[in-house]
Amino acid sequence: MRSPTHPGPASSSHVPPLDGIRGLSAVIIVLTHAPKLGLTPLLPDDLGNYAVMVFFALSGFLMGHLYLHKPFDGPSAAHYVAARIARIVPLYYVIVLWAWVMFNFVDPSFFYAMTTSALPRHLAFFGSVSYFWTIGPEVQFYAIFVTLWWAVAKARAGAMLPVTLVLGAAALLFVLQPLFPGITIFSKLHIFLGGVAIAGLRRPLAGTLQHSWPAFAMQAGLVGLCFVMWLDPPALRVLFYTSPRDHLLNVYYGDLRRIMVAFMLIFAFSFETRFANGLLANRFARSLGTYSYSIYLLHGPVLWGLERAGLFAATGPAPGFAIGLAAVYAVGWLSFTVIEMPAQRLLRKPLTRVLAGRAALPA
């Protein structure tokens, strides 16, 4: 029997509340970065690290959810690679090159200090200037996922075997994680793989927990936990935030307690309920998720530009914050409309055809 939390039918592959999770994570990052430009702090600074961790785990979940149950072959892999390239590369390259021009030829105090020596590393997805450091591990994970997908497709002997393999790899990398530099994929790969494993664990439970009271109870409990994290009580800070400061974030991204918060959020809100849909799948929350990539890459330059123009000094921190958030949202929408979507429409099908043709060639 359907519970009162049931909101109606939904796509089996699309999980609307996770759009809101992505958008909310982007907003949290903006809110934790904004005080560095003189705006009113609304969240604990370390909460932004949780949001980045959620991004990483969500990427793993979505790849596992969308692809791991499908057969692995040349055309499928070509479609996957083309979709990832068309989604990530165009906007990233536009902003990296724009940052290089601005920093070297327009204003040496530009928000992204993209030197000429740093440019090739960033174009190869190995750079670490400001917020760009997160994009490299993301792209490297997408490359690694192709091998993981192939291995899981070969190991279909049992329903839980793929999940066991992924969890085993994630556990091994979690143990080895402190050995790797903080900006490399292997220092974060256990988080991506944990997200993949969540997708595998969720699949057999979808029929039981979708639109259910247990799913609602998990979601409500996690919202309460996030509220406590926002209050930032000193007695509980050691549980939720890293101490001491960790320059490369190896300690932070290697702390199982913190990782589990991100995993639980994604698992719980991967099931639809009235509560989840009202909170995170409403039109505004989903628009934040849609524009989140542009918001993430552009919020720093937008707020920096407003601060340099004297807006925050003229309005005061609180009104300036509201104006800054509105500007970030507007620029995110514009970037998505003018760059992201046209690039995806232009590149996805041609890239798929080219890559599928290469996949069809004899080895």
Give the tens place of pLDDT for each residue, 106-161.
999 999 999 999 999 999 998 889 999 999 989 999 998 998 888 888 776 445 55
Instruction: Please tell me which residue, 23 or 232, carries the higher pLDDT value.
Output: 23
The pLDDT confidence band at residue 39, using thresholds 50, 70 and 90, is: low
Question: Is residue 3 over pLDDT 70?
Answer: no
Compute CA 198 distance to the chain's CA centroid, rounded to the nearest angstrom: 15
What confidence score (pLDDT) does residue 114 get? 96
Question: Using CA atoms, how far apart are residues 133 and 131, in angstroms rounded to an integer?
Answer: 5
The answer to whether the CB of 32 falls within 8 A of the CB of 47 is: yes
pLDDT tens digit sequence for 85-104:
999 999 999 999 999 999 99
Q: What is the pTM of this model?
A: 0.88
Based on DSSP, count helices (H) and strands (E) in the chain, helices before strands: 17, 0
> Cis bond leading into 7, ω under 30°?
no
**CB-based contacts of 126: which residues, under 8 Å, 6+ apart?**
136
Q: Which of 89-98, 168-177, 182-191 has the lowest mean pLDDT?
A: 168-177
Q: How many CB atoms lie within 10 A of CB 32?
A: 20
Structure tokens of 361? 């060639």
**Average pLDDT for the chain:** 84
What's the CA gap between 277 and 264, in Å, rounded? 17
User: What whole-number distance in Å separates Cα of residue 21 and Cα of residue 281?
Assistant: 9
Q: Which helix (H) or strand (E) holds 280?
A: helix 274-280
Cis status, amide bond into 350, omega within 30 of 0: no
SS3 state of residue 193: helix
Give the residue, 234 or 199, on which the prediction is more confident.
Answer: 199
- Residue 362 confidence (pLDDT): 46
Reduced to 3 states (helix: H, G, I; strand: E, B; else coil), residue 41 is coil
Q: State residue 160's pLDDT score.
A: 53
